[in-house]
Amino acid sequence: MSDTPTLRPLLAIETSCDDTACAILAYDGRILAEEVLSQKDHAKLGGVVPEIAARAHLDALPAIVSSVLQKADLTLSDIDIFAATTGPGLIGGLIVGSSYAKGLAIAMGRPFMAINHIEAHTLTPRLPELEGDLQFPYLTMLVSGGHCQCVSVKDAGQYVRLGGTIDDAAGEAFDKVAKMLGLGWPGGPALEKLAKDGRDDSYDLPRPLKGRAGCDFSFSGLKTAVSRLIEPFGSGALPRNIAADIAASFQRAVADVMKDRAEHALEMAPASTALVVAGGVAANATLRSCLEGVAHAHGIPFLAPPLRLCTDNAVMVGWAALERLHQGDHPDDIPTAPRPRWPLSERTAFRASVSDPA
């Protein structure tokens, strides 16, 4: 802890994709209230439509902020700092959420903090309510719909990206294969459910980059291999037993790749105190089991947030802000521009006057 004076609660907003979320955290990290509203309109369209998502965030935010304040028995005047995801993500949603939080901050005469979505996922396992006493440095496997990275977390704000995806992220591959199997969107949970009825050794699918040096990821070839398996069946629905076997074989292939990449990442960061998995795909039980085995083999703890904190949420945004405050950061992020891409290595807030497009 720094010498930063103790503050009253912090209100955080998350709108980087299709979940509208708000949370209020005490300065010590206790969660006072939280709420997530998942948009339903995208399912019939087969994926997130950015403009529809942004409009839905705009419609939902006033009510969800009011609801969270009511749950915490607080008013806006009780909030000392406002924070919001400012990148990476869908630019429309980022503009809506960060602008709303900035407006509240300006109206109440309070500071605003711009939070990196990836950093928030990475720091989530350090939340006090998880009682894991996670110490730096640790290794995070971030697996979500848009991101797949191995990150050595040296400290809050000090990250070494050991590897990442060179094409599709794991979550994208799950969604695309689920769509091929006629499971709709979002595909990850539906594919995992179907896979329980299948045999994971039914099809010999590729394990891209397995055994290669480093810990980069590639799932495009695996996705193509599944497409070729399905092609002979034509455009009609697959027999359920075949679809289940394909789902199970695909899920096993992804888990094998993740296990291999985790092994390599731990070799690259041997001082890691724990292996952490974060992001939406971290909810997959098969993936968790594989990574837990890797951690056990290396004699370190395996940590994963509870399912509600794996997917996008505002609690993680608030906690990332608190980690900065505990380091003595003095936020002044009103000029910070939302970014669809915001590398984790660029910890400092991105100012609107900066023209770097990365």
Cite the annotated binding site for Fe cation by residue number: 117, 121, 312
The Cβ of residue 131 has, within 10 Å, a number of other Cβ atoms equal to: 7
Q: Which token pair is 212? A: 């290669």
| Backbone angles phi and psi of 231, in degrees to 5 | -50, -45
Which one, of 213, 119, 220, 205, lies nearest residue 166 by Cα? 220
Q: Which token pair is 59? A: 């419609």
Cβ atoms of 12 and 318 closer than 8 Å: yes
- Classify the C-alpha dihedral 291-292-295-300 as positive or negative: positive
Q: How far apart are CA 171 and CA 242, in angstroms?
A: 22
**CA angle at 222 for the pair 254 and 141, rounded to the nearest 5°:** 35
Cis preceding-peptide flag for 88 (omega within 30 of 0): yes
Question: Which residues line the annotated binding site?
Answer: 117, 121, 142-146, 175, 188, 192, 284, 312
Using CA atoms in the order 49, 50, 55, 56, what is the torsion angle rounded to 10 degrees? 60
